[in-house]
């Protein structure tokens, strides 16, 4: 077994979690933990059936959120930790590459590569999805963003992991495959858009808060604060990055993502208008 803890943050993930844990298996990592946000479905029961440890998390609306809370209060005894979402499925190729790469590695963390699925179909085109989710224990934490109850996102979703050392890349892809349907997809992205807008609103009035942003973060936020950001994403994803290869499904996926970025810009403008009205009174 790898000197690795796999930590799976979850909230009402009964449908996805079984497939996720089956793919992890029982002989890949030393420890598998499900960090459960007091789910009201069978999430905890599914975890127990697959011999995963369950840790209950109750968010108080302030820093730290779920991943940082786990790292600080239940620090893994293994050398490495991999944060895996319940809708992410470790493929045999990804497991082989991770197993071959971690022993003796000099990196502090690894970017992971993902394959998106939408409406039950594997997408071949669109922007490549990568994120830093595998790193040495004690070397990385996620950004500290004090929310003071202004969102319901109890897990770090778009907070970026802060790492001081070098970062490698696992090229074999993990399947990103949410089995909960389009309603869940829409609700999730509405929540994310509200969070992103509130975060950007706060940063505009506290410029120092963005001092630690990476170049790709600065580019991302420059685009999504523009009313044309959604259109730019659609053109890039569908035409330049080959979303057209997935036909109607690819068109719908790129269009919904473009709508998500447009929604962030609109929400941000609304927050600024509300503040202007309050100031004028």
- H-type alpha helices, the chain: 14-24, 43-49, 66-73, 92-101, 182-204, 215-224, 229-234, 247-280
- What is 2-179's CATH number, 3.90.550.10, 3.20.20.10, 3.90.480.20, 3.40.50.1970? 3.90.550.10
- pLDDT tens across the length of the chain (281 residues): 999 999 999 999 999 999 999 999 999 999 999 999 999 999 999 999 999 999 999 999 889 999 999 999 999 999 999 999 999 999 999 999 999 999 999 999 999 999 999 999 999 999 999 999 999 999 999 998 878 777 889 999 889 999 989 999 999 999 999 999 999 999 999 999 999 999 888 877 666 666 666 777 777 777 778 889 999 999 999 999 999 999 999 999 999 999 999 999 999 999 999 999 988 87
Contact 223, 96 (CB under 8 A): no
- Both tokens assigned to 208: 């120092």
28's enclosing H/E stretch is none
φ/ψ of 11, rounded to 5, equals -155, 110
Domain(s) of CATH 3.90.550.10: residues in the chain: 2-179
Report strand pairing: 161-162 vs 141-142: antiparallel
CB atoms within 10 A of CB 243: 26
SS3 71: helix
φ/ψ of 186, rounded to 5, equals -70, -45
């Amino acid at each position: 077994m790898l000197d690795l803890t796999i930590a799976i943050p979850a909230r009402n993930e009964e449908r996805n979690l079984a497939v996720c844990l089956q793919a992890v298996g029982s002989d890949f990592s030393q420890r598998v933990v499900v960090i459960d946000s007091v789910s009201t479905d069978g999430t905890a029961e599914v975890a127990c059936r697959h011999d995963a440890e369950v840790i209950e998390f109750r968010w108080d609306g302030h820093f730290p959120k779920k991943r940082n809370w786990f790292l600080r209060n239940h620090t893994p005894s293994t050398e490495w930790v991999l944060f895996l979402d319940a809708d992410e499925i470790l493929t045999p190729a990804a497991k082989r590459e991770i197993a071959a790469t971690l022993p003796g590695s000099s990196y502090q963390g690894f970017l992971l590569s993902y394959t998106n699925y939408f409406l039950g179909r594997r997408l071949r085109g669109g922007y490549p999805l990568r994120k830093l989710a595998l790193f040495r224990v004690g070397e990385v934490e996620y950004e500290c963003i004090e929310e003071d109850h202004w969102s319901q996102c109890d897990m770090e979703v778009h907070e970026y992991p802060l790492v001081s050392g070098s970062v490698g890349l696992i090229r074999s892809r993990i399947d990103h495959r949410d089995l909960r349907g389009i309603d869940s997809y829409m609700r999730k992205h509405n929540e994310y858009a509200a969070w992103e807008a509130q975060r950007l609103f706060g940063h505009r009035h506290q410029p120092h808060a963005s001092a630690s942003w990476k170049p790709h973060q600065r580019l991302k936020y420059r685009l999504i604060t523009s009313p044309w950001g959604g259109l730019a994403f659609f053109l890039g994803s569908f035409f330049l990055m080959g979303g057209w290869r997935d036909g109607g499904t690819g068109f719908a996926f790129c269009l919904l993502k473009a709508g998500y970025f447009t929604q962030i810009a609109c929400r941000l403008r609304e927050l600024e208008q509300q503040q202007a009205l309050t100031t004028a009174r």
